[in-house]
Amino acid sequence: MSKDADLVKKLQNPALKDIAFSELLDVYQERLYWHIRKIVTTHENADDVLQNTFIRIYKNIQKFEGNSSLHTWMYRIAYNESIRFLENNNKKRYDHIDAISESHLEVLFEDEYFDGDEVQKKLTTIIAGFTEKQQRVFQMKYFDDLSFRKISEILEVSESTLKSTYYTTVKIIEEKIFL
């Protein structure tokens, strides 16, 4: 039995749930935090969304049937929570989630937990210029090191489309970053 399968078994057992959940936090908290942080921009927002994500995981773990891996299932919850957070917080200001990217840079560069140099700012600016989907694909692959199969399960997009999107974004970054 894999480590995740063992963890799920414990999480679905009421007697072991709390201990197993603490273990789950140790393994996945940091990875989910960075996944969320890149979507919601600031540390403060990421902290809120991370908390909501884990509460949702705790409450819904009994419903997890193992159709996907635990890792993918939690990423999907984190992704959906982040998108919901953005939509709720930006409803008044933006008509579409793509429009959020326009203010993304302003908010990010003003965040007290951002300390990027010129190259980092440049990379962030290039990524912010991508469509919402391109950003997610690049970030999940490049920064979160997820396989194309897992990204495909999270975003519900075919692997071939993801590969094409990813290599397009990498090419654009390579061309622009050293200009």
Partner 1 sequence: MEKSTENNNKQNFLKEGFKGDISKHHKKYLGTEIPEGYFTKSKSSILDKIKEDVKIEVSIATKKQLVFWMRPQFKYIAAASLVFIFSVTVWLQSFNKTDVLDETNFELFAFSDDVLIESLLVDESEIEAFTDATLFNEILVKAELSEQKLDNLVLDNLMLEDSLLDNYIDYRLIETLVL
Positions that interact with partner 1 (CB under 8 A): 21-22, 25-26, 29-31, 33-34, 37-38, 43, 47, 50-51, 54-55, 58-59, 108, 111, 113-117, 120-121, 123-124, 142-145, 170, 173-174, 177-178
In the complex, the smallest distance separating the C-beta of residue 4 from partner 1, rounded to whole angstroms, is 18
End-to-end CA distance of the chain: 50
Q: How far is the CB of 29 from partner 1 (least distance, A)?
A: 6
Closer residue to partner 1 (CB): 23 or 156: 23
What sign for the dihedral angle of Cα 163, 140, 69, 5? positive
The nearer residue to partner 1, 111 or 132, going by C-beta atoms, is: 111
Residue 92 CB, nearest approach to partner 1 (Å): 26
Report the C-alpha gap between 70 and 81 in whole angstroms.
16
Closer by beta carbon to partner 1, 132 or else 144 = 144
Give the integer Cα–Cα distance in Å for 85 and 70.
22
For the bound state, the minimum distance from the C-beta of residue 166 to partner 1, rounded and expressed in Å, comes to 11
Among residues 17 and 133, whose Cβ is nearest to partner 1?
A: 17
- Per-residue tokens: 88: 């709720």
Task: Find the shortest distance in angstroms from Cβ 97 to partner 1.
Answer: 20
Sign, Cα dihedral of 46, 47, 53, 56: negative
Q: Nearer to partner 1 by C-beta: 42 or 69?
A: 42
Q: 49: how many CB neighbours lie within 10 A of its CB? A: 24
Dig out the tokens for 55 from the structure: 């509460």
Distance CA 171, CA 151 (A): 19
